[in-house]
A and B are shown apart, each in its own frame.
Chain A
Amino acid sequence: MAEIKVDCIGETCPVPLVEARKALRKAKQGDIVEVTGNHPSSKKEIPMAVRAMGLEVLEIKEEKGTWTIRIRR
């Protein structure tokens, strides 16, 4: 089981979602994809999209405007 980190700091909507999708497409079942960014809308829309895909959002955390979303493929 691998852990894939995606750095989207400085990127605006919809790039973080595109990068998250790209990582999830490459990930194997059970892998963890961790997306980090600081665009506020992306923090809301990535979990929304991930749930629509039937995947599990493990954790969402934020510190000083930088958020991290952990997703299990």
Chain B
Amino acid sequence: MGCKMSGRRIYLDNAASTRLDERVLETMKPYFFDTYAVATSEFAYTQGIEAREALDEARGILSKALNADPEEFIFTSGSTESSNMALKGVAQALGKKKGKHIIVSKIEDFPVLHSAQSLERQGFKVTYLNVDGDGLINIDELRDSISDETILVSIQHANQEIGTIQDIDGISNICREKGTLFHTDATHTFRRVPLDTVKLPVDLITVSAHTIHGPKGIGGLYIRKGTPIAKWMDGGFQEFDMRAGIENIPGAVGFARAARLVTYLENTRMQAMRDRMIDRILNEIPATTLNGHRQKRLPQNVNISFHYIEGESITLHLDMHGIAVSTGSACFSRSLQGSHVIYGIGGDHERAHGSIRMSLSRYNTMREADTVVKTIAEIVRELRKISPLGEESHG
């Protein structure tokens, strides 16, 4: 039972994970059943050489997507590992040589935020930059925060919940001027929003396959040539002796295929669905607030707070209608914790707990977008009738 008893389900939690594309699976299959050897040097057996060639080809495709050289792209187990490696690797490499100061924004995703907090517990000083009502950092505040002790600035390319795209051009250039390394978490922008390492002085970039219809458990970290970064996981000499562990060859070739399958047209289609959903919800459902910037926004992200009701209730009722979305009112272990992102943009408890994120993918249609808006309108109207705060609502 998917909760709805029959009919097709509509999945709008693609920021959390996407459906694997069949073409990606087909590309991966030979590396489970035929070329399953570890990647070896040319002095070893044929299967291993073929595995090495597949890994190199995948690396070439992914690095090219960032306009980088292949040796600047390291495969990891996903964006969590990539961001941990970026922050902790740089901290270990420069902590004793240059300084112990790191700058992140308040609305980073947990891999960056919790890595920064972990470093703070180890004696590093961390500045958490404020963001404005749309989720954008203040460039002047960033410039003023960088000191001689600053070893790394980590600001996400786009936000995981509200979709706001930061001014990476401005941020990376300030970091370069000030002589500080810059890392960006591009988990949600990779292949959706252009990011060119030749045009922009970004030193480290986190990417992942799971947001672009690739497999889970594979991601990457772009490391600009010459960037001081310590190997933080001990083991073998894989990935240019930067990341130990047997290479995930099926994952790597799947990631590369997934990256190639994303098209400009697909991103434009998602943006049209996004805009239609946002416009219809704000116009047709009273007491709603858009979270995130209206224009500087991921093409696949819709995030709206429905006032006077809990996001969990909307999520549960949508599930009963066969629609999957997520809420900033995360019911972790039944202790209600509002989204740190919504609080970060100045939202209050009610706005945080009433927020719903709908993230689109290749497989969603305009018809589904309309169905979702219609169903949300009905659910919100009914829930407001029974909400303890319902009398205050206009719905």
Tell whether, in the assembled complex, residue B4 and residue A54 are in contact, meaning their CB atoms are under 8 Å apart: yes
Tell whether, in the assembled complex, residue A14 and residue B312 are in contact, meaning their CB atoms are under 8 Å apart: yes
A7 in contact (CB, < 8 A): no
Whole-angstrom CA separation of A15 from B4 in the bound complex: 19
Contact for A41 among B5, B334, B386, CB less than 8 A: B386
Tell whether, in the assembled complex, residue A18 and residue B316 are in contact, meaning their CB atoms are under 8 Å apart: yes
B134 in contact (CB, < 8 A): no
How far does the Cβ of A9 sit from chain B's closest Cβ, in whole Å?
Answer: 16
Tell whether, in the assembled complex, residue A52 and residue B6 are in contact, meaning their CB atoms are under 8 Å apart: no
Tell whether, in the assembled complex, residue B320 and residue A53 are in contact, meaning their CB atoms are under 8 Å apart: yes
* Chain A residues within an 8 Å CB radius of B1: 24-25
* Chain A residues within an 8 Å CB radius of B313: 13-14, 17, 45
Within 8 A of A (CB), among B313-338: 313, 316-317, 319-321, 331, 334
Whole-angstrom CA separation of A41 from B1 in the bound complex: 25
A52 with B316, Cβ < 8 A, contacts A41-B388, A45-B383 known: no
How far does the Cβ of A25 sit from chain B's closest Cβ, in whole Å?
Answer: 5
A64 in contact (CB, < 8 A): no
B3 in contact (CB, < 8 A): yes
The total of chain A residues at the interface (CB under 8 A) is 18
Tell whether, in the assembled complex, residue A49 and residue B5 are in contact, meaning their CB atoms are under 8 Å apart: no
A52 with B310, Cβ < 8 A, contacts A21-B3, A25-B1 known: no
* Chain B residues within an 8 Å CB radius of A49: 316-317, 320
Whole-angstrom CA separation of A49 from B312 in the bound complex: 13
A58 in contact (CB, < 8 A): no
The total of chain B residues at the interface (CB under 8 A) is 21
Whole-angstrom CA separation of A25 from B385 in the bound complex: 27
Whole-angstrom CA separation of A44 from B319 in the bound complex: 17
B387 in contact (CB, < 8 A): yes
Whole-angstrom CA separation of A29 from B171 in the bound complex: 58
Whole-angstrom CA separation of A13 from B385 in the bound complex: 14
Tell whether, in the assembled complex, residue A41 and residue B387 are in contact, meaning their CB atoms are under 8 Å apart: yes
How far does the Cβ of A55 sit from chain B's closest Cβ, in whole Å?
Answer: 7
Tell whether, in the assembled complex, residue A53 and residue B4 are in contact, meaning their CB atoms are under 8 Å apart: yes
Tell whether, in the assembled complex, residue B316 and residue A21 are in contact, meaning their CB atoms are under 8 Å apart: yes
B241 in contact (CB, < 8 A): no
Contact for A14 among B4, B310, B321, CB less than 8 A: B310
Quick one: closest B residue to A18, CB to CB?
B316
Cβ contacts B293-327/A at 8 Å (1 or 0 each): 00000000000000000101100110111000000
Within 8 A of A (CB), among B88-129: none
Tell whether, in the assembled complex, residue B316 and residue A14 are in contact, meaning their CB atoms are under 8 Å apart: yes
* Chain B residues within an 8 Å CB radius of A15: 334
B382 in contact (CB, < 8 A): yes
A45 with B386, Cβ < 8 A, contacts A14-B310, A14-B316, A54-B5 known: yes
Which 8 pairs show the lowest CB-CB distances between chains A and B? A44-B386, A54-B5, A52-B320, A49-B320, A14-B312, A53-B320, A41-B386, A52-B321
Q: List 21 A-B contacts (CB under 8 A).
A: A17-B316, A18-B316, A18-B331, A21-B3, A21-B316, A21-B320, A24-B1, A25-B3, A41-B387, A41-B388, A44-B385, A44-B386, A45-B317, A45-B383, A49-B317, A49-B320, A52-B4, A52-B317, A52-B321, A53-B3, A54-B6
Q: Besides A17-B313, A49-B316, A53-B320, 6 other CB < 8 A contacts?
A: A14-B310, A15-B334, A45-B317, A53-B3, A54-B6, A55-B5
